[in-house]
Amino acid sequence: MKKIILHIASSLDQRIAESDGSLEWLTRFPNPNKTDDNYKELLASVDTVLIGRRAYHELLNMEVIWPYQEQMTYVISRHDWGTSEKLHSISENIVENISALRDEQGKDILLIGGGKLVSILLEADLIDEMCITYIPVVLGRGILLFPEQPKESQWELIENKNCCSDIMMVKYRKKN
């Protein structure tokens, strides 16, 4: 069975985007040394990417080169977008469809946002690991990392390290 690994940036007050969904706040924290903090390794270990519609659009608006060209990307949305060679949408039976992806043979699954999708998958016990990169800013408002999380879950620390510009990366594994 594949693992689902959440890999996401968060402000110190657990915000992953501004109130309008914008990710522009992340561009204020440059990476002058161009370190990838094992991101290439992570990408090599996954064959599937899950992302919410709003987060997907915000990444495209940032005019970055799509880093998941080798992976099949599933955009989770209320509306079916159809499919292309490396891009599919899931608009119905989200938990069931993602569970089926998890049961397929292959590499792990990378979850990169947004907050509602993270909450849905946490509620369904589908997230196995979390890598949260804490950016040293308090946004005050915005989209929460865990906006609707009524269910408690236990996690164990597997790694933490300082990255550039006072950024802290923390990795957790779900306790069974």
Task: Select from 147, 154, 94 the least CA-distant residue to 119.
Answer: 147
Q: Work out the percent of the chain whose per-residue pLDDT is above 90.
A: 62
pLDDT tens-place string over residues 67-106: 898 999 999 998 877 778 889 999 999 999 999 999 999 9
Sheet holding 155-162, edge to edge: 87-90, 72-76, 46-52, 108-111, 4-11, 129-135, 168-174, 155-162
pLDDT interval class at 15 (50, 70, 90): very high
Model pLDDT, residue 37: 60
pLDDT, the chain, mean: 89
Per the omega criterion (within 30 degrees of 0), is the bond before 114 cis?
Answer: yes
Model pLDDT, residue 96: 97
Task: Delineate the domains of the chain, giving CATH numbers in brackets.
Answer: 4-174 (3.40.430.10)
